[in-house]
Structures are given as structure tokens and as C-alpha cells.
Structure 1
């Protein structure tokens, strides 16, 4: 009997120890994995998407601070104050203004609606940005809401902003009536000046288009004459099939260029013409190579100095008078001239009462040049070759260039791409202090 009791107590002890060890293991696992993987913070895209369909967004880290009933009351207040169009974000405690400022501005740019954006932390600190209210006015509104909980402060802020918006609307209406009389007298003079300026602009554009069309027609005619001189009989069964194929493609390109020239009504329409011309000139070069029993040449960008020369054969270093040296593609003859210190054969186009190199003949020739190099890097190639020329300076000033969005960056806990941040927003630091630039490159 005694031995059985001893065996029972021993078994009970082992079971208790196993239970304690299991509990300790579970606690360790909870510590390791629970604290190692905190909840992912809401990123800018999530906040922007939320505010696109609602005027209130409560981030994951702040949901415990705003009960569902409070959220419903806040949304109702924000929705009824339509003139102020306030959109609010509730974030977790401890978020700094250096993080909230850029987040608010980025979210506002993404949502692309709403006039005032306000952020409040779970521990009650508030700041705002607005297109209609100045930083000083925002700080005054925030100060008037001090002392309340999140629901009370946001509702009060929305009501005050609505009253301010109504006041501004009334003041703007009075000012509009005052200035209306002045504007009526000014409109006649301004309208007359605009009509004169518009007429001159149209005349200038028509003159530039006529010059451009003459220049393009010269290129088209030259390709047609080149095709006619070769005068291949594509129906001849003895003709090399490769020569026939290139020759037919050259003729088709010529037809496309001629038709596009006839349809062209704006400088931009000329890009289609020169794209077809570049294609036709290459196929004429390939046709002659096949007929001569030579390898079909590599397809390279047209000769920079004169695209009428057809495909280039090599790149040479060249600088315009007084300009910076750069690498440009050149045909065999122009490459020889440049390497020997001679002047290459420039493509001179109609300009005013004379002629100029196409890269110095004004913005109307930008699509013309772009078409020739569309298959070889387009404006990226041209902008490098034309540094210091009229077209080059225009391209560096924005022609054809696309400025990408500001790259992704650390939003200090909000995550996501910050988007393209524009101007027009005034900051109110509110409980964080004065407004202003919040750094971080924004």
C-alpha cells in the first residue's frame, strides 16, 4: 500500500512538472513571437483609400481610443459640415509632428479632395493642414477645441471650420461685388489685347508650320527620288528576294510619309512623317547592300548632322560653335569630315527669310527631330546630343520630359510611397507648436 502511494505521488509530481514546463514554454514563445512581430502600421495608401470614401480614418494603432459610437458621431459631424470639407485621421499615441506633417500632405495629394486635413493622436495632440485656412487660423481653431476628448475635439473643430468657411464665403461675395465693376471696365481692354495677341500668335504658328512643312516635304521628296533612281522591278523573278523585300518596305514607308505630310496640321503631326522617313532610308540602304552582295548594315540611328543621309555608321565627338562636345551618330562622310576637322554637311531647314540647322530652327522642329530618333531613345538620346542648341535648351526646360513621383521613403511609421507632393497647403502645428516646414525632404 505504501509503495503504491509513493508511486502515485511520483507520477503526480512528474505531471505537475510537465505542466509547469509547458506553461513556461508557452510564455517564452509568446514573448519571442508576440513582441517580435508588432502590428503593421497603416501606410499612406491605406489612409488615403480610407479617406477617399469617408471623412474619418482611424488607424489600427488608435482604434481602441475611439469607440465605434464615437466614430459614427464624428463622421456625422464631418459630413454635415460640407463647406469646410474636413477630413480627419486618428493615429496612435506618441507620433511626432515630423511624421504627421508629411503624412497629412501626402494623403491629401493622393485623395485629391477635401479642403482641410486634421490629425489627432490617441493621446490628444492635434495638427492640421488646409488650402483655405492659414496656419494661424488653424492654430486658433485647434486651441478652441483644447481640453476635450477625441470625439469632442474633432466635432468642435469641424463646426468651427464650417463657420470660418461660411464667413470667408460671405466676405468673398462682398469683395466680388466690389471688384466686379472694376473688372467690367477692364475686360474690354484686356479682351482687345488678348484678341490682338491671339491673332499674332496664330499668325506666328501658321508661319512656323508652313516653314516646317516645306522642310519636311523636302525630306519626303528626296526619299522618293532615291527610290525612283534605283527603279527596281519588284516583279522580276530574278531579283534577290531580300532586295525585293527591303525595296518594297522602302516604298511603303515613302507612301506613309507622304500621306502623313498631307494630313499634318500641327508640328506634333510631323513625328509620324520622320519616323516613316527613317524607316524608308534604312531599307534603301539595305536594298543597295543586298544588290552589291554586301551584308545588310546594322540598323543605327540616322546621321545627326543630316538625317537625309540615312543610317549612321559610327559615333563621333562633335561640338557646335561655342558649345560643349558630345557624342553623336554620323554617316561615313560626315564622320570623316569631323575626324579631319572639317564642317559636316548640316541639314538646313527653312527659317524666316533664310535657313538654319534643324536643331536651331525653333520648337516647331522638335517633333520632326524626335521622329527620326524615336526608335533609338527618342528625346533621351536627343537631349544629350543637343546640349547648347535651341532644341536642347527647350528640352531641358521640360519638353517631353516626365518628372517621376517622389520616391518611396520612410514615413516614420506610416509607410508606403509618399507620392508627388505639391504646394498650396498651410500647416497649423496646433498642440505640437507652430506650423511650418516639417523637414524630411517634403
Structure 2
């Protein structure tokens, strides 16, 4: 059940929990860590399923160097950026501090645990990217990689002997073969991502064409303005197909969904003229599914564990929400038999979603705060750490890193020394 809070026409956009909440979360988590717990789950945080939570607690409890994990409600970028070091300062225990705020995962390490500056964040990013939609799997990899890195081993590798073997292979010319194989693997992964996104966009184009057909347009019986709107909608339909044929990378679909958004508005104008209704306002697409066409109103909505915000929705979804029902959210397949809402589907869908909202400035990142795509689309916060923001203190306080983070196909994962990925 989506956490939908109701209709709103004038409520301000709420992008994050208040600062006082962040302070309370830090105090409660630090108290738990000082009492001997390695995992703190705030009562307001409900994003991790119970079965995954049990796996996470078991994995983190035995980590060496120590990993302290705080599972919290969604925070703003700046609050999240400051949270790991804040926990360290209040706890004063050497270790790696990770924060899962909403669906955003952020991590960092104190000096003395054996990690290079920025390494915890990079490990967090990789773990999140490798386990879309799977908190437990991502944290399991994160703990394993932290352990290996602290021992001086290549994360996921076999330590010093492995590095020596790689050096020998490189000297023998095999290193180039390994690099080429790695490139081929990346190309295969990119091709698989493109295939998934292509199916989604093809569905969008097909749905648009069906809407054109259902309009039952007769050019001989309409005025010039209606003909112009319909012709534009038809031209944009053909253009979308041509643009899609030229797509070679997942991010290229952005140009296709830009065309589809423009075409859907032209189609809505033609339909309004045919029905004798006023022309629709130029509004963003329905947030829950851009195939629903231009939005008609705004509702207050929050992702699991996230802060409420206004999102544009179509009339049908607004009516469903008013009746206490879930909106019809667009889902995409991330693996055989498993579908998730598009905003939790992974980085391959950033261009697809972005194209639909490009005409409306920087709206989409604000709508997606606390989701996987939200962290990817948001610009870095000012403050010297780059992602996701904060201030670099000038004193030597034992903290070894700068903040970083990413998303588990839901949110962010990162470190005191920067970096992260999407869950």
C-alpha cells in the first residue's frame, strides 16, 4: 500500500524531515551504538522488510572492522551528508558508519579502520548498484568489501597474492585481455539495460498510438485548430518511433520521452477541442504513470520511509486516492517475474523518466526525493563534499572521510569519504 496522504492544492512541497528530527535520530542511534548494538532501526523507519532486516542484523553484527548501521526515515541531502560523522562524534567508537535514510544509503569510516579516504563511499556505491531493490544483499556485499579493504585486499578479490598475480599477468600481456573482457562484460550489461528500457518505451509509444486511434478523428468535420493539434500529435508519434530507432544507450531514450510528453499534450488539446471542453493547462505528466497524459491536479504523496511532497497526477489517480485506493503506478521489470515502481527501478531508467519532465525545469528531482532515481537526478549540494553535501570540518576529530552516498534502487548508499550508488 502506497503511503498516500491525500489531495492538496496549495500545500508547500515537503522535501525532507525537519532538522530537529535528524538530531533526534542521531541521538537515538548513537545511544543504541554505545549500548552495544550494531544496527539501529528508528521506530519511524519502515522501508526494510522484516526478513531482510534479520539478515542485515546478522551480517552487520559480526563485521570486522565494526560497521554501525542506522536505519532512519528519509532525510534531506544535507542532513544525510552530516549524519555519519555526527554518529561517530556522539559514539566515539572506531568503525564504519552507514545510514539508510528512507531508501538512501550513506556511509563513511573513521581513521584507523584501514580504509583509504573516500573508499567507504565507493564501496557503498558499488554495493547499492549491484543489488537493485535488495537492501540485505547490498549491505552484505558492503560488509564483505569493507572487510577485504581493511585487510589490504582488493574488495571482492584475494589480497596481496591476488594483486601480485594480476601484476604478473599484466606484464605477460594478459592484463589487456582481462581489460577487454571487462569491457565486453560492461557492454553486455549495457545492452541488457537498453533492452529493458526499450521495452518500456515501446510500450509507451504503443499506448500513445492507441490513444490516437481511439480519438476517431475525422479531418473533414473539424476546424483548423483541431486539425493542427491532431496533426502535431500524429507527427510527434511518428517522430518518437524514429527517435527510438536511433537509440543506442539507455540514456538516449530521454529524447524519445521528451517527444512523447509533447505529443500527449497535443493529443489532449485535440481531444478537448473535439469534446468542446476548454484546452487543458500545460502541466507535467501524471507522476505515477506518464502514459496517463498531462496531470490535472496535485496530491500529497510519500514513498515508503520518505517525506511527503506534492506530485502531479491525472484525474483518474486523483479520484482513486480520494477513495482511499492506490494510484495506478507504472511498474517495470527488473528481473524475470519481478516488477517494481519505475522510481525504484535503477539508473537505466533515469533518462526515460527525465525526458517526460524536462519541459518543466528541475521538477523531477524534487518529486523523487528519497527514491533511487531521486538521488541520481539531484544535483550535488554545496558544501565541499560533492555528494550529497555537507561541510568539511577543519579540525582533526578522528573522522577519516567525506560524505558520499547512493541508492539501493530506492535511495542512497555512501560514505564519509564520498561515493554511493542506487538501490
Larger Rg: 1
> Scaled by the length of structure 1, what TM-score is found?
0.46
Q: Which is richer in helix?
A: 1
- Quick one: higher RCO (CA 8 Å, sep 6+), 1 or 2? 2
